[in-house]
Every structure is written in C-alpha cells, then in structure tokens.
Amino acid sequence: MDSDPLSRLPHGASFRFVDRVLEITPGTRVIALKNVTVGDPHLQGHFPGNPIMPGVLLVEAMAQAAGLLLPDGSSALLAQIKEARFRRPVVPGDQVRIEAERLGGLGPLHRFAVKASVDGTAVAEAEIVLAETSQVTSNAL
C-alpha cells in the first residue's frame, strides 16, 4: 500500500472530500477526517448566509473513505446507497470523522457500513455499495 493512502483516490483535489487518514486496516476498516471550512466552494451557494455541507457530498466523503479499502490499483463507482440517515447539519468549522467498514462483497461489488460524526455525535450513516471498475478515460467517452 502507498505510504499516503489518499494518493490512491482517483479524484482531483477539487473533488476530494477526505483530508486525512487516521487509521487503516487494509481491506477491512478505515477512519478518516474531512475538515469543513467556510472556504469550501460548495458552501458558497448552499446556503448563502447559512452554509451547510450538502448531504450528497457527505455521502461522497463516506464513499471515498470506503474506496480506500479496495484492492491496490483498483477504482470504483458508487453503485448503491442504502438506509442513508442524516442526523444533523454539517457546518463550517466541523471536523467530520468518517468510519468505513467492509461488510463483504461479491465479484466486483463491495459493501460497506459507513458513518460520519462530529465531536462524537453522529451526523450521517448509510450502507453503500461500490462497484470496482477499470478507470474510464476521456478517449473512451
């Protein structure tokens, strides 16, 4: 595994929602952080004067953390979101702790239990499925 697990994410810096990995047990479990700041571009319009991290981006952060548990050299697409629950808004100044645990899989599909918390209080949770795939290049589109 790379010395920097974040280098395994295929996302560009502008769409990376994991800032740091605290703990990782390859293929099994990961704990990561996302620092939410007032300078995050998506907060400028969601919502002016009352910035809240969009729930879809919170799910993306959880999926990116789970993606760190895939085999080296692989990438995946988000295939399914089950039982997503949002407990409270995430706002600038929050440090989101993301925990992902691999539940199992079948072929290219990988199931994960994911949860996000701020200061020990749950903010979101879901079960997600990632579909392992070869990377798509712009030439293939």
Q: pLDDT tens-digit profile of 96-138?
A: 999 999 999 999 999 999 999 999 999 999 999 999 986 544 4
* 42 carries an active-site annotation: no
CA distance 36 to 52: 9
**CATH number of the domain that residue 85 is part of:** 3.10.129.10
In order, the DSSP letters of 92-105 are: TT-EEEEEEEEEEE
Find the catalytic residue in 11, 42, 46, 110.
46
The token duo for 31 is 């704990």
Structural domains of the chain, count:
1
How much is the average pLDDT of 17-24? Answer: 97
pTM score: 0.91
Taking only the tens place, the pLDDT of each residue in 85-96 is: 999 999 999 999
Nearest to 54 by CA among 103, 25, 89: 89
- DSSP class of residue 30 equals E
Domain of residue 30, residue span: 5-140
